[in-house]
Amino acid sequence: MSHILERARDQVLERGEGLSEADVLEVLRLPDSRLEEALALAHETRLRWCGPEVEVEGIVSLKTGGCPEDCHFCSQSGRFETPVRAARIDIPSLVEAARQTARTGASEFCIVAAVRGPDRRLMDQVRAAIQAIRESVEINIACSLGILTAEQADELVEWGVHRYNHNLEAARSHFPNVVSTHTWEERRATLQLVRERGMEVCCGCIIGMGETLEQRAELAAQLAEVDPDEVPMNFLDPRPGTPFAELPVIEPPDALRAIAAYRLAMPRTILRFAGGRELTLGDFGTRQGVLGGINAIIVGNYLTTLGRDPSEDLDLLAELSMPVRALSTTL
Ligand code: SF4
């Protein structure tokens, strides 16, 4: 049988068909000596099926901390003793964050809240926030508010939310080791709802939560099955006070193998570098990532940890001749 990268070249690069779970596992098991080749193929694949543009997104937290859920990686859970304190942002500060995000050339602005799912009060705040942003900033608005009801999904669509983020986080078989207060199936159902009601689906994952390589491949297949418009890839940043505080940070070659493998599993998706990349990969890794299948980045703050200065990322994209995706192409 031919080598996995030869098969991937024919199947993914030439025909645009993502790798199966078994093939993703083979990519994840590639020796370091083949890593560069895998990243180069993932990059070619991204250029072929997505083009050279990079989508830039900003993110703001409407409600931080105090979440009733127990996701073991999350410093915003109210169940763990973490340094994150419950906080809310007012609308003028939120509009200012959207304005600053738009100034970087970003086309996406995501409003997030640390909740199991939104209640009426939060939905009203979201509506007010969206209205205020629309009045003064030209940017696509996305939301990440947890598990939704059908009525809530309809309301978001009505207010013009074009994309909804809800992560699978972990492979189905690993999920019970990560969260006990809700199920993988509940997460999956919200994604289904989001798609049915007409929003774009943004569905991400966290790599490095003690999963096996088989489970990492399983997660890639489960994400591909959701067929998301966007996949934010996070790498675990073990936060003090959380049950995962002592997990080791994933090794850079393993993180890069995961990026290449996930691109080859999902040739057409927007694959976004999300949280944990500075810790895992550093500056050099960011360059390798955007030359290895990544085609979207978050600028500025990630919810509870500080990201890089946006200008560093934008300079890097300019140097690599990767244009920032313009607003008009996504509105
Ligand atoms: S990941 Fe979301 S649902 Fe889970 S504890 Fe954190 S904020 Fe709550």
pLDDT in tens, 221-252: 999 999 999 999 999 999 999 999 999 999 99
Decide: 69 in ligand 1 pocket, CB within 6 A. Answer: yes
Average pLDDT over residues 174-187: 96
Does the pLDDT of residue 207 top 70, yes or no? yes
Q: What is the pLDDT of residue 60?
A: 85
Average pLDDT over residues 294-309: 64
Does the pLDDT of residue 134 top 60, yes or no? yes
For the CA of 167, the closest atom of ligand 1 is 1
Mean model confidence pLDDT for the chain: 89
Determine the distance separating the centroid of ligand 1 and the alpha carbon of 111, expressed in angstroms: 14
Instruction: Give the pLDDT band (50/70/90) at residue 304.
Output: very low
Average pLDDT over residues 194-217: 96
What's the CA gap between 205 and 311, in Å, rounded?
26
Instruction: Give the pLDDT band (50/70/90) at residue 177.
Output: very high
Instruction: Give the pLDDT band (50/70/90) at residue 308.
Output: low
Nearest CA owner, ligand 1 atom 2 = 114
Task: Name the residue of 63, 76, 116, 305 whose CB sits within 8 Å of the most ligand 1 atoms, as the mutation to test its pocket.
Answer: 76
Does the pLDDT of residue 49 top 70, yes or no? yes
Average pLDDT over residues 115-139: 93
Paired strand residues for 59: 110
Does the pLDDT of residue 103 top 90, yes or no? no
Q: What is the pLDDT of residue 56?
A: 87
| E-only strand ranges, 167-326 | 200-202, 205-207, 230-235, 270-273, 296-298
Does the pLDDT of residue 327 top 90, yes or no? no
Does the pLDDT of residue 331 top 50, yes or no? no
Pairing of strands 55-64, 270-273: unpaired
Q: What is the pLDDT of residue 309?
A: 65
* Cβ atoms 29, 253 nearer than 8 A: no
Instruction: Give the pLDDT band (50/70/90) at residue 301.
Output: low
Nearest CA owner, ligand 1 atom 7 = 114
Average pLDDT over residues 56-60: 87
Pairing of strands 55-64, 108-113: parallel
Report pTM: 0.92
Does the pLDDT of residue 87 top 90, yes or no? no
Say which DSSP state 231 is in. Answer: E
Decide: 190 in ligand 1 pocket, CB within 6 A. Answer: no
Helix extents (H) in 110-234: 120-136, 150-158, 184-196, 213-226
Say which DSSP state 305 is in. Answer: B
Pick the most confident of 95-109, 173-187, 283-297.
Answer: 173-187
Q: Which residue has the higher pLDDT, 318 or 253?
A: 253
Decide: 278 in ligand 1 pocket, CB within 6 A. Answer: no
Decide: 74 in ligand 1 pocket, CB within 6 A. Answer: yes
